[in-house]
Chains A and B, each alone.
Chain A
Amino acid sequence: MKQQNLIREIFSGNAVIPIFAVVASFLFGGILIAFANEEVQEASGYFFSRPGDTISAVLNSVVGAYDALFRGSIFNYQASTAQGMIKPLTETLAFATPITLAGLGLAVSFRSGLFNIGAQGQIIFGAMFAGYVGLSFELPFLIHMPMAVLAGLLGGALWGGLVGLLKATTGANEVVVTIMFNYVALLLLTYLLKTPVFQAPNQVNPISSPVAESSRLPGILGDGFRLHFGLIIMLAMVVAVWWLMHRSSIGFQFRALGYNPSAARTAGINIPLTYILVMAVSGGLAGMAGASQVLGADRQLTVGISATFGFDAITVALLGRNNPFGVLAAGLLFGGLRSGAVLMQANQGVPVDIVLVVQSTIVLFIAAPPLVRSLFRLPKPKAVQA
C-alpha cells in the first residue's frame, strides 16, 4: 500500500513538474559542464583581476556543449550536405524507438499500480523470440516480418505475464521478481549465444548470424540512415496504448486496480487475472522494443541488444507521467540526449557521462516535486479533501 501511494504521488499532477524537472536538470548539467571545463578553471584562477574572462569562459563552455548537443540530436546546421543536416534527427528517432516502446509498457503497469522494473529482461525476451523467428525461417517478407515482430511481443508478454502470475498466485512482490528476472533473462541470452541455438557458425564471440532479410524491419530513408520501420510501430503503439487505457474496458479496469484495489475488488474486477494481463501487456510492449532492435537496428542478436533501454524506460515513463503522449515526448528527449552526447564529446570534449547526470537529475527532480516547486516557486497543488 505504501509503495502504491508513493507511485500515485509521483505520477499524479500535470505536465508542469516534468517540464521544470527537465529545465532544472539542464541547468544543473550546465553548471557541471562549466566546472569541468579547462578554460573555466584557468580563468577562475585570476577571477578577481579579470572576472570577465571567467564569465565568458563559462558561457563559451556551456553554450558550446549544448550547441553540440543540439547539432548532434536535432539539426546539424554546420553539416555540408542535406543528409548530414537531418541525420541527427533520424538518429534521435532511432534511439527513441525502443526507449519509447518499453516506456509505454512501463507506463501501463505503473498506471495499474504495478511497479514493473523488468523492462530490461522483457526487451531481451522479446529480442530472443523475434531473433529466433528471424534466424530460423525463410518466408515471404509479408509473413515473416510481422511474424517475427509478433514473436517479440509474445516473448515479452510471456516473460512479463509470468511475473503477474507469480504475484497473483503467491503474492510475490513484482519489484523484487522483475529485478531478478532481468538477471535471468540476460544470463539466459548470454548462455544461448554460446550455443548453436543462437551463435553464428564459426563464431567464437557470443553473437548470432544476421536475421533473414525477409524478417527485417525495412529502413525508412534509405541506407544512409539507421531509421527503420520500428518507428512506425512505435508511433502506432502510442495511439494503441492511449486507446487501451482510456477507451477500452480493459484499460478502465487496469486503472481502477491501480487507483484503488479494494474498490476494484468490490466492483467484481478479477484482480489476479488483471495482474497477469497488466504484466503481459506491459512486457509485450517491451518485447516489441526488443524485436525492433533485433529486426531493425542491430539485425542480429548480441548480449548488448537491450543496451540500457529498459532502465531509461523507467525514467521515460516517470517523466511522461504514464501518459502515452507524455511518454513519447520523454522518449524523444532521451533519444536526443543519447544521440547528441556523441557529438558533444567529440566536438567539445564534454564527457558522455554528463548526459547520464542530466538523466539522473531528472529522476531526482521528478521524485521530489516539492524541490522543483520551491526552486521555481510554483504554487502548491490543491489539497484533496476527505
Chain B
Amino acid sequence: MRLELKGITKKFGDFTANDQIDLVAESGEIHCLLGENGAGKSTLMNVLYGLYQADGGEVILDGKPTKFAGPGEAMKAGIGMVHQHFMLIPVFTVAENVILGHEPTKPLGFLDVEKARELVREISSRFGFDIDPDAVVGDLPVGVQQRVEIIKALISDAQVLIFDEPTAVLTPQETDELMEIMRQLKDEGKAIVFITHKLREVKEVADKITVIRLGKVVGQAKPSDTTEQLASMMVGREVDLSVNKDPANLGEASFQVQNLTAFSPSGNKVLDDVSFEVQRGEIFVIAGVQGNGQTELAESILGIQDKVSGSIKLEGKELLGKSVKKVLDSGVGFVPEDRTEDGLVADFTIAENLMLDRSDRPPFAKGIQLQLKNLHEFAGQKLKSFDIRARSIFSKANQLSGGNQQKVVLARELSRDLKLLIASQPTRGLDVGSIEFVHEQIVAARDSGIPVVIIATELDEATQLGDRVAVMYKGKIVGVVSPDTQREELGKLMAGISA
C-alpha cells in the first residue's frame, strides 16, 4: 500500500495549520514526522484520519484520490490510528473494545464474543503481547492499553498505522518494546507514520524523516543525521540538548518530608515511609517507573491525597492536613502530571487559565471584581516570554497543541512567588526547543534560592536536571544517588533491584 498526501492545507479560521504539505507513507517503511509544538503534525494526521476535512490538497491511496468523511471511512480504507489519548472504553473488556464498531455477530444478531477473544489471542501471540482478552481495560497499565489500541487497528486490517506521540506516556522499558512492535509491523508490510519529540527514538526506528515547521514541510532528514542536526532543523536554530547549570548554591533544607505513608482508596499502601529533605537552591529529582507512588507523593504535598500520615514541612510550617488553597498560598508551585485533566480548563482561554489559581486576589481581582485589564496585560507578557504559540491570549486552551498547553501551565506556576516548586514530568510532550527553555526556567527557579522537586520518568532528564536523584519503587525511596551515577545502576534501582 502506498499512501500519498499531496498539498494538504488545513485552516482554522484565518490561521493556516497545514500549508501545502506533501507526505508519502509506503509499506514496509517507518516514516517519522518531526516538528515543533504546534507545527501542525496532529492536525495533518487528523486530516488523514478523517477527523478534519482538508481545505485543499488530496489523499491518494494506491494511486486513487480518496476522501474520508470520518474516521469510519478511513478505517475501512485501511488506515488505523493509535491516539495519544486512548479512545477505549474503560469499563469494557479488551475483547469488547477491540470489536467495537465492527462487531462480529452470530445469526440473529448476537454478539460473537468468542470470535473476538480468538482474534485478540491470535494477534497477541503474533506480536508476543501478553494480553488477557477478558481483562477490563480500565485496570490495565497505559502501555498495555496502547497495545489494545494497536490490536484494534490491526483487526480492522489497517495497512497504514499512525502513531501520534505514543511514547509520551510510556516507561523506558515500554518504549523499547513499542519500538520492537513497530519494527515487526513494518516487516509485516505495514506503512507506519510515527510522531515523536524524542530524537533518540527517531534515530532508532525511522526509515524516512520529514520535518515540518509552522505548518510547512521544511525538508527531509536521514536517520543517520546527528541529534543536534535533527533538533536544529526542527526548531530552525541551534539547540543546546544538554542542561546548562552552575554548581548548586545550597542553602538550608527548607523542605522536609518525613515518614510519609499513604493508602489508596482500596487500602493498598501507596507511599511507604517516605522521608527526604531538599535544600534551597537544589533540584531534587524523583525518578522511577510511573505508578510507583510518585503521583501520590505529589498529591500528598498538594493536599489532595486521602489517608496520608507523616509530616511535610516547608520553612518549618506543616503543610499536611492543609487545604490546597493554603498549600498554594504558602508558596508552592505545582505542575500536575496530567495537564488536560488537572492543569487546565480546556474551555477557558489562555488568559483565564493563567489566573486559574489566583483569580481571587490582586492583581487579577480587586474585592471580587476581576481586573481584566491586568489579566490581559499579564497574559500578553507570558505569551511572549514563554513563547506560547497561539493566535492570541483569547484562544481557548483546547485549540492549543499539546506542547503549548504545557507551556501555559508552566507559565502560570512559575510566575508566582515561590518557596517551593514541584513539577511532575514538566517537559512531557514538549519539543526540543521548548525543553531547553523549560529546563532553563527550572534552573532559574533553583538559582533564585528555592527547593525544587522534579518527578521524572526519563532517565536523561533526571540525570541532567537533578542535583540529587532519588529513585522510587513500590512507594518507597530505594536510593538517593548523585546524577552522574551510571544509567545501568539507575535502571536497576528503578526495577527494584537494590545495588
Contacts and interface: CB of A to CB of B under 8 A. Distances in A.
Interface residues of A, number: 26
Interface string A238-265: 0000000001111011011001101111
A263 B364 contact: no
Nearest to A380: B53
B398 interface: yes
Contacts of A247: 369-370, 372
A199 to B, nearest CB: 42
Contacts of A248: 365, 368-370
A222 interface: no
B324 A256 contact: no
A374 interface: no
A266 B42 contact: no
A260 B372 contact: no
A270 B345 contact: no
A269 B84 CA distance: 29
Contact of B352 (A12, A252, A385): A252
B330 to A, nearest CB: 11
A262 B372 contact: no
B369 A266 contact: no
A264 B356 CA distance: 8
Contacts of A142: none
A263 B342 contact: yes
A385 B370 contact: no
Contacts, number: 91
A262 B342 CA distance: 5
15 contacts: A12-B347, A247-B369, A248-B365, A249-B369, A255-B348, A256-B345, A256-B356, A265-B304, A267-B356, A268-B323, A268-B327, A270-B325, A384-B398, A385-B399, A386-B340
Contact of A386 (B84, B304, B324, B347): B84
B49 to A, nearest CB: 11
B359 A249 contact: yes
Contacts of B399: 384-385
Contacts of A269: 325
A255 B356 CA distance: 11
Nearest to B365: A249
Interface of A: 8, 12, 247-250, 252-253, 255-256, 259-260, 262-270, 382-386
Interface in B59-112: 83-85
B345 A249 contact: no
Given A253-B359, A383-B52, A262 B368 contact: no
Given A248-B370, A249-B368, A268-B324, A256 B343 contact: no
Contacts of A386: 42, 83-85, 340, 402
A74 to B, nearest CB: 36
Interface in B332-346: 334, 336, 340-346
Interface of B: 12, 42-43, 46, 51-52, 83-85, 302, 304, 323-325, 327-329, 334, 336, 340-348, 352, 355-357, 359-360, 364-365, 368-370, 372, 398-399, 402
B356 A263 contact: yes
Given A252-B352, A263-B341, A266-B342, A385 B42 contact: yes
A267 B46 contact: no
A78 B329 CA distance: 67
A269 B323 CA distance: 9
Contacts of B355: 252
Contact of B343 (A259, A263, A268, A383): A263
Contact of A249 (B43, B83, B360): B360
Contacts of A264: 345, 356
Contacts of A250: 368
Contact of B302 (A260, A266, A383, A385): A266
A23 to B, nearest CB: 27
A249 B328 contact: no
B345 A259 contact: yes
B323 A260 contact: no
Contacts of B360: 249, 253
A256 B360 CA distance: 13
A249 B85 contact: no
Contacts of B51: 383
A255 B345 CA distance: 9
Residue of B323, B336, B357, B359 most packed against chain A (CB within 10 A): B359
B344 A260 contact: yes
B52 A266 contact: no
A265 B327 CA distance: 12
A249 B42 CA distance: 35
Given A248-B370, A266-B336, A259 B347 contact: yes
Contacts of A267: 324, 328, 356-357
A263 B345 contact: yes
B342 A268 contact: no
A263 B344 contact: yes
A127 B48 CA distance: 59
